[in-house]
Amino acid sequence: KNEVEQSPQNLTAQEGEFITINCSYSVGISALHWLQQHPGGGIVSLFMLSSGKKKHGRLIATINIQEKHSSLHITASHPRDSAVYICAVRPGNQFYFGTGTSLTVIP
């Protein structure tokens, strides 16, 4: 069983829709990362959270440490948001990754 579970695995949305991707984890952590993998393969870090909520442009990430759950929201989605979104947690010296959520936003 993976330490980090994401849902949904695949998501197709119309441009402008509000999108939510969920991440649940089973290990104790002090921080959680949301990563974005572009269609070309490159990975960038979107957020690092230890509590509460963070916002960057149209992206919002929330975390509930007690419930071991985080969500990534995209408001007013756009085709350029199409990517794989990966949740990662760090309990100690290494990162555990979710299997990713593949998002396709249709114009």
Partner 1 sequence: DTAVSQTPKYLVTQMGNDKSIKCEQNLGHDTMYWYKQDSKKFLKIMFSYNNKELIINETVPNRFSPKSPDKAHLNLHINSLELGDSAVYFCASSRGPTNSGANVLTFGAGSRLTVL
- Applying CB under 8 A, the residues found at the interface with partner 1 are 29-31, 33, 35, 37, 41-45, 48, 50, 84, 86, 88, 90-95, 97, 99-100, 102
Chain centre to alpha carbon of residue 69: 11
To the nearest whole angstrom, how small is the minimum distance from the Cβ of residue 51 to partner 1? 9
To the nearest whole angstrom, how small is the minimum distance from the Cβ of residue 65 to partner 1? 11
Q: Which of residues 74 and 85 has its CB atom nearest to partner 1 in the complex?
A: 85
Length of the chain in terms of residues written: 107
To the nearest whole angstrom, how small is the minimum distance from the Cβ of residue 16 to partner 1? 26
To the nearest whole angstrom, how small is the minimum distance from the Cβ of residue 25 to partner 1? 14
Q: How far is CA 38 from CA 9, 21, 22, 46, in A?
A: 16, 16, 19, 12
Q: Which of residues 27 and 76 has its CB atom nearest to partner 1 in the complex?
A: 27
DSSP string for 37-97? E-TTS-EEEEEEESSEEEEETTEEEEEETTTTEEEEEESS--GGG-EEEEEEE-SSSS-EE
Q: Which of residues 42 and 107 has its CB atom nearest to partner 1 in the complex?
A: 42
